[in-house]
Chains A and B, each alone.
Chain A
Amino acid sequence: MTDPKPSTNDILSKIRAKNAAAATPAESAPADSPSPVEPQTPAAPAAAPKGTSDILAAARAAAKPADAPKGTADILASIKKPAAAAPAAGGAAPKSPADIMAAIRAKAGTAPAAEAGAAAPVKAAPAAEKVAAAVTPGMSAAEMIRAARSASDGVPTPPKVALPSKPLAGKAPAVASKAAAADVTRRSALGDVVALLLSPVVIAWGAFLTSLTASGLAVARFMMPNVLVEPPTKFKIGPPNDYAPGTVSTKWQAQFNVWVVNGEVDGAQMIYALSTVCTHLGCTPNWLEGEQKFKCPCHGSGFYKNGVNFEGPAPRPLERVGIRLAEDGMLEVDKSVKFQKELGQWSNPSCFVGVA
Chain B
Amino acid sequence: MLNSHPDLTPSVLIGLGWFYLLVFLMNLLWTVRSYKHEGEFKNGVPKASIWAVYSSILMMLSFYHFTYPVEGFLVSMPSGFKDVFDAWFSNPVLFFFLSIAGLVFMIQAREWWIKPTVSWVLLNLSLIFMGLSLTDYDFRQIVGKPDNVPIVAMLFIVAFFTWIYFTRAVDNDRRITQGRPLFEQENNDKVLVWPDLVYTELICMVVLTAVLIFWGIALKAPLEEPGSSVKTPNPSKAPWYFLGLQEMLVYFDPWLAGVVLPSIILGGLMAVPYIDFNKLGNGYYTFKQRSFAVTTFLFGFLPLWVALIVLGTFLRGPNWNFFGIYEYWDVHKVEAANNVNLSEFFWNGLGLGIPKGSTVSQILLRESPGILLTLGYFALLPPILGLTVLRKYFVRMGVMRFLVFSNLILWMAILPIKMLLRWAFALKYIVGIPEYFFNI
Contacts and interface: CB of A to CB of B under 8 A. Distances in A.
Interface stretch (B150-158, B232-240, B400-408): B232-240
Contacts of B230: 253-255, 257, 276, 284
B429 interface: yes
A316 B246 CA distance: 19
Contacts of B337: 300, 302, 310-312
B229 A295 contact: no
B334 A315 contact: no
Given A276-B230, A281-B258, A297-B318, 9 more contacts: A288-B332, A291-B332, A297-B233, A298-B235, A299-B249, A313-B251, A342-B358, A343-B435, A344-B358
A297 B334 contact: no
A298 B266 CA distance: 25
A291 B434 CA distance: 26
B253 A315 contact: yes
A296 interface: yes
Majority-rule SS of A interface residues: loop
Contact of B338 (A254, A283, A311): A311
A280 to B, nearest CB: 6
A140 interface: no
Contact of A297 (B235, B253, B258): B235
A30 B228 CA distance: 93
A290 interface: yes
A302 B250 CA distance: 12
A188 interface: no
25 contacts: A280-B249, A281-B254, A283-B236, A284-B230, A285-B232, A286-B232, A286-B234, A288-B331, A290-B332, A290-B334, A297-B320, A298-B249, A298-B320, A299-B249, A300-B337, A302-B337, A310-B337, A311-B338, A313-B249, A313-B250, A315-B253, A315-B429, A315-B434, A316-B434, A342-B435
Contact of A296 (B229, B253, B319, B432): B319
Nearest to B428: A313
A295 B319 contact: yes
B339 interface: yes
Given A254-B230, A284-B230, A284-B232, A300 B320 contact: yes
A315 B439 contact: yes
Contact size range, A: 20 to 34
B338 A284 contact: no
Nearest to B433: A315
Nearest to A257: B230
A342 B254 contact: no
Interface in A291-350: 291, 295-300, 302, 310-313, 315-316, 342-344
A348 to B, nearest CB: 15
Instruction: Give the 8 A-B CB pairs with smallest separation, nearest first.
Output: A300-B320, A311-B337, A316-B434, A297-B234, A283-B232, A295-B319, A284-B232, A315-B434
A276 B230 CA distance: 8
B252 interface: yes
A254 B252 CA distance: 29
Interface of B: 228-236, 246, 249-254, 258, 318-321, 331-332, 334, 337-339, 358, 428-429, 432, 434-435, 437, 439
Contacts of B429: 315
Given A315-B432, A342-B434, A343-B435, A299 B250 contact: yes
B250 A312 contact: yes
A297 B319 CA distance: 4
Contacts of B331: 286, 288
A64 to B, nearest CB: 63
A340 to B, nearest CB: 9
A343 B338 contact: no
Contacts of B258: 281
A299 B320 contact: yes
Contacts of A291: 332, 334
A335 B253 CA distance: 26
Contacts of A302: 337
Contact of B250 (A254, A295, A300, A344): A300
Interface of A: 253-255, 257, 276, 280-281, 283-286, 288, 290-291, 295-300, 302, 310-313, 315-316, 342-344
A297 B235 CA distance: 5
A284 B228 CA distance: 10
Contacts of A286: 232, 234, 319, 331
Given A296-B319, A312-B337, A313-B250, A284 B428 contact: no
Contacts of B246: 298-299
Nearest to A250: B230
A136 B233 CA distance: 86
A300 B229 contact: no
A217 B376 CA distance: 49
A342 B435 CA distance: 6
Most buried by B among A290, A298, A310: A298
A68 to B, nearest CB: 56
Nearest to A279: B434
Contact of B236 (A297, A313, A343): A297
Nearest to A297: B234
A145 to B, nearest CB: 49
A329 B52 CA distance: 84
A310 B338 contact: yes
Contacts of B435: 342-343
Contact of A300 (B232, B252, B321, B338): B321
Contacts of A300: 250, 319-321, 337
A302 B318 CA distance: 13
A343 B230 CA distance: 26
Contacts of B234: 286, 297
B232 A310 contact: no
A285 B332 CA distance: 13
B22 to A, nearest CB: 37
Contact of A254 (B231, B320, B334): B231
Nearest to B340: A310
Contacts of A313: 249-254, 428
Nearest to A311: B337
A77 B231 CA distance: 87
Nearest to B338: A310
Nearest to A288: B332
Most A C-beta atoms less than 10 A away, residue of B249, B318, B439: B249
Nearest to A298: B236
A295 B337 CA distance: 12
A290 B434 CA distance: 29
Contacts of B236: 283, 297-298
B184 to A, nearest CB: 46
B319 A310 contact: no
A25 B258 CA distance: 85
B358 A343 contact: yes
Nearest to B250: A299
Contact of B249 (A255, A281, A311, A343): A281
